[in-house]
């Protein structure tokens, strides 16, 4: 299968509307690919907290609509990165009717027919006591997406630091771990190391797609990468906007897991000792 990771430059001088239509055209241009991947929160920027309240959108909002059309026109599976989702509210909602719903950092996966097949609300919110950690709600469920090319395991940016989430994804059948990100350049070495670690420990492909450029004063890491289930880096981007096109064999996952069956040796069900 052919994967195309689109390392979008999220530049503050470009409006959300014009970036949305530019990215839709870029997705359309990937019609030879099987799976296209976009970064985390590319419409606004993963650190542009000030924009989120005004640009939050529902799951049938302008970004989802544009990405659905682009996936259908290109005939590709599209992991459209993530958007600031505004939760729908209604008479039964916790927020109450007429009140704005909570915001989530939500990933969207579309099929080649343009249908929204899976959503994933980021579980681990970044910022400690600021930014996303305060402003966004947290997801409560891991998510996988069955595609014609294998099962995707969905995780977003900061999730990459939490191996226990990836263990759950492996147990749920994930073969291709797809990780959109807005990771800062300052911690690029962590990004590269953790992406390889997740591939090796999961014996799965990692497709990690970061944004480029600088927004909200935070220089982005770029260096999107594809790692195979043996931990080899098949392709790695630079720091500018680019499309990383990689041919991969999803059958390699089963082969590596059979030839070197470490997942079978996990010590499941051991009692947790009391703290001393």
Q: Which pair of structure tokens corresponds to residue 163?
A: 């191996």
> Of 2, 11, 72, 161, which one interacts with ligand LYUYDEPV (CB under 6 A)?
161
14 in catalytic set: no
Q: Is 46 in the site for ligand LYUYDEPV (CB under 6 A)?
A: yes
Rounded-to-integer distance, Cα 30 and Cα 198, Å: 27
Per the structure block, which two tokens stand in for 9? Answer: 């430059």
Of 185-224, binders to ligand LYUYDEPV (CB under 6 A) are 187, 190
Residue 242 annotated in active site = no
Q: How far apart are CA 9 and CA 242, in angstroms?
A: 8
- Catalytic, 255? Answer no
Least CB distance to ligand LYUYDEPV at residue 127 (A): 8
* Under 8 Å between Cβ of 177 and 206: yes
Given the residues 57, 157, 209, 210, the one annotated as active site: 157
CB atoms within 10 A of CB 14: 15
State which residue, 3 or 46, has the beta carbon closest to ligand LYUYDEPV.
46
Instruction: Select 77 or 183, whichever has its Cβ closest to ligand LYUYDEPV.
Output: 183
What CA–CA distance (Å, rounded) separates 69 from 88?
A: 22
Residue 253 as a binder of ligand LYUYDEPV (CB under 6 A): the answer is: no
Cite the active site residues: 40, 122, 157
Contact footprint for ligand LYUYDEPV (CB under 6 A): 40, 46, 126, 157-158, 161, 182-184, 187, 190
């Amino acid at each position: 299968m052919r994967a195309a990771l689109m390392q979008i430059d999220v530049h503050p001088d470009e409006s959300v509307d014009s970036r949305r239509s530019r990215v839709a055209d870029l997705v359309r241009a990937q019609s030879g690919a099987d799976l296209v991947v976009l970064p985390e929160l590319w419409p606004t920027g993963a650190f542009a907290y000030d924009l989120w309240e005004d640009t939050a959108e529902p799951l049938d909002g302008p970004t989802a609509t544009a990405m659905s059309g682009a996936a259908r026109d290109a005939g590709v599976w599209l992991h459209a990165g993530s958007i600031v989702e505004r939760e729908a509210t209604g008479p039964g909602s916790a927020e109450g009717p007429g009140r704005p719903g909570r915001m989530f950092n939500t990933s969207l996966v579309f099929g080649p027919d343009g249908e929204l097949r899976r959503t994933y609300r980021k579980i681990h919110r970044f910022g400690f006591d600021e930014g996303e950690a305060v402003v966004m709600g947290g997801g409560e469920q891991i998510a996988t997406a069955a595609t014609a090319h294998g099962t995707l395991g969905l995780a977003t940016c900061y999730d990459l630091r939490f191996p226990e989430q990836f263990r759950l994804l492996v147990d749920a059948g994930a073969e291709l771990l797809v990780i959109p990100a807005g990771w800062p350049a300052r911690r690029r070495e962590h990004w590269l190391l953790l992406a390889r670690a997740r591939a090796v420990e999961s014996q799965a492909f990692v497709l990690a797609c970061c944004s480029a450029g600088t927004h909200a004063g935070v220089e982005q890491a770029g260096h999107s990468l594809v790692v195979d289930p043996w931990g080899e880096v098949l392709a790695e981007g630079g720091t500018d906007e680019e499309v990383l096109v990689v041919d991969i064999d999803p059958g390699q996952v089963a082969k590596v897991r059979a030839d070197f069956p470490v997942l079978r040796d996990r010590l499941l069900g051991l009692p947790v000792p009391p703290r001393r």
